[in-house]
Structure 1
Amino acid sequence: MRYATRWVTGLVAVAAVVGLTGLGTTAAQAKAKTTNKVVTFSQLTNHNPHRLAAIRQAARQEILTATHAKSSKVAAVYKVKLPHNMAKKATLTKDGVKMNLLPNSFKVKHITIPYKQLQGKVLNKYLPKANRVTPLKTKKVVALTFDDGPDPTLTPRLLKTLKANKVHATFFEVGQSVSRYPKVSRAVLAGGNELGNHSWNHPDFNAIGTAKTVSQVNRTNQAIYKATGQLPEYVRPPYGNITAAEGRAIEQPIIRWSVDSRDWAYLNTKKDIQSVVSATRSGSIILMHDIHAQSVAAVPTIIHKLKAKGYHFVTVGQLLDQQALPGLQYFGQHDYRTAGK
């Protein structure tokens, strides 16, 4: 299941691959981006529900940012009614996409989502050139990811290694640990890395049901927002388990992996190195854990050996060209399918 083939429904494929290229964008269209042009969400997304879910995700962050909301308001932002109807309209302004809101507890009538927050979420032709998706030009790329942190000792040690080697990674953190060590989570972002959601206390989502899964994710989003001021974009379900219903309800992209180091089973630095280096291919998402000393000790050699093979390290967001969408799960570059499938 981890090595998914490159298939999605025709609608998603067209929107994700063809739509974002911005082919056929005229000078008049480019100029219109900075005017008060009214568009439908169907136009913005090429009638793609996954992209509309991504816009809702960006809207929640903007509501919190615009109101300088405390973490206690994170639960409330998920209750704000946001567009599901493709026929609803928004306005392209010089600063971003302006959306009207229904009455809500934040007492906000409208928000303007900055264009930079909508990269990969709306079609390229509606974005300024600086915010359009541009595929990675580097051929041999991989993404290091680390689960189950933050650890007060090992995560900072790992961050020093990454910085020394000029490598950025993606960390999927457990909410209860974020609450204990918020300073470490802030350091992850400060180092130019990505921070994702790995549940509150690492249950098997398949065993707890959709309602409890959503609660696990939202509670961790709240902890990460409290620590960093940002809602995490991505979710990695513990054990990689998630149902289609849970994938729809979470409304965040699901990040899986294509290279499993099995470092938790080995607890052996040499085996960790061999496991990762031998299995890595271009476009791989590598799964490791920053709560095991042996794993952290393996990272410098893994980086050295993969660089020697010509690989470049990028974050998950960079690997996926910032195009990961809610309702879909991603195993590697160009390797995704519907969540729960």
Structure 2
Amino acid sequence: MMKQGKLMMSGALVTLLTFGLVGVPVAGHAATSKAVTYGQLTNNNAHRLAAIRQATRQEILKQTKSKSSRVKAVYKVGLPYHMNKKGKLTTKGLRVSLQKNSFKLKNVTVPYKDLKGKIRNRYLPKKQRTKSVKTSKLVALTFDDGPDKTLTPRLLKTLKKYKVHATFFEVGQSVSRYPQISRAVLAGGNELGNHSWNHSDFNAIGTAKTKAQIIRTNQAIYKATGTLPQYVRPPYGNITAAEGRAIEQPIVRWSVDSRDWAYLNKQKDINSVMHATRGGSIVLMHDIHSQSVAAVPTIIKRLKAKGYKLVTVSQLLNYQALPGLQYFGAHDYRTAGK
């Protein structure tokens, strides 16, 4: 955006407020807002509109300083589903109108930083716009089934030692048991994702129970950390298209399966990961097996020696993951259930 400028005309001082491409006001000048349809914001992309709803739920909880008992209620708030409906671009973010709800809010403003990669770049301040990222030397390590009271803290120490970050897909019942460990995961600069309540096979339990498992786990993570997780990883990688639509969170799969759960052997874990990992890979491991956690230091050192940078899933996907889609690697995604 251009900065505020001043121009002398006919002896009078005229203050010019300049705007970006779509009339988003300069920060600090709250008097102006611009109405825009969700079709314009998303280029008529239903996945992007679902991402706006996801970010709006987070903001409702934050703005109302809600306790975890209110997480289920936020999924009942009427949010935009039609492309011809309008939001308003303001100095602070996108103002979303809400249907009558138990939070007693008529609207909520979602900050632009939470809409990066979710709405078109032209509607974002320049510092929040996504830019192309080279992923040929990026790898995301991910760990499932925790938190474990002993092994997860040990792994966090390893990540801190080598100054790398990872993404943890946690089981809700374990988060409830060890909330302090989930907080430590985030405190270390890592990401938390949802891995169901008790590791049920979504394909076997159906859409309604799948959604209930996801919301229950989101509630546990929110209670532990004060934030909803962005991603879901379905146990066994099983998810239907209907479940993907119902969840309204990006689905993260993997391109490298370490099979550490089968080996339970440190050296085999190392060999498996090193053999299959390429630039843009999402690596699947588990932080509930001692052999897996023991393998991580060597894996990190060898990947770094090959010139790879270890990043979170969000960094690998350039903050552009959308609900209803499942991501296998940096440039490998498809509709959930396919």
Is the TM value for this pair above 0.5? yes
> C-alpha distance in 2, partners of 1:176/1:135?
38
1:120 aligns with 2:130: no
1:103 aligns with 2:100: yes
1:181 aligns with 2:178: yes
Given candidates 166, 171, 189, the residue that maps to 2:168 is: 171
- Kindly indicate whether structure 1 or structure 2 has the higher relative contact order, using CA contacts under 8 Å at least 6 residues apart: 1
Q: Quick check: 1:214–1:246 contact (8 Å CA) kept in 2?
A: yes
Q: Quick check: 2:68–2:220 contact (8 Å CA) kept in 1?
A: yes
Can you list the C-alpha shifts for 1:127-167, whole angstroms capped at 9, x where unaligned? 11111112324631100000000011100100000011010
1:139 aligns with 2:136: yes
Moved over 4 A (4+): none
Bigger helix fraction: 1
The answer for the alignment partner of 1:251 in structure 2 is 248
Kindly state the Cα deviation for residue 189 of structure 1 after the two structures are TM-superposed.
Answer: 0.3
Given candidates 4, 24, 28, the residue that maps to 1:33 is: 24
Matches within 5 A, 1:230-309: 230-309=227-306
1:334 aligns with 2:325: no
Can you list the C-alpha shifts for 1:283-310, whole angstroms capped at 9, x where unaligned? 0000000000000000000000111111
Q: Quick check: 1:148–1:198 contact (8 Å CA) kept in 2?
A: yes
Output the aligned Cα RMSD: 1.0
Question: Which secondary structure state, in structure 1, belongs to the residue aligned with residue 165 of structure 2?
Answer: coil
Rg (Cα) greater in structure: 2
1:90 aligns with 2:81: no
The answer for the alignment partner of 2:13 in structure 1 is none
Letter in 2 for 1:246: E
Kindly state the Cα deviation for residue 102 of structure 1 after the two structures are TM-superposed.
Answer: 1.0
The answer for the alignment partner of 1:213 in structure 2 is 210
The answer for the alignment partner of 1:64 in structure 2 is 61
1:198 aligns with 2:204: no
Kindly state the Cα deviation for residue 100 of structure 1 after the two structures are TM-superposed.
Answer: 1.3
Stretch deviating more after TM superposition (88-97 or 134-143): 134-143
> C-alpha distance in 2, partners of 1:233/1:267?
30
Matches within 5 A, 1:41-80: 41-80=38-77
The answer for the alignment partner of 2:9 in structure 1 is none
Letter in 2 for 1:62: E
Q: Quick check: 1:30–1:128 contact (8 Å CA) kept in 2?
A: no
> C-alpha distance in 2, partners of 1:91/1:325?
21
Unaligned runs of 5+ in 2: 1-17, 26-31
The answer for the alignment partner of 2:28 in structure 1 is none
Q: Across the two proteins, how many residue pairs are aligned to each other?
A: 315
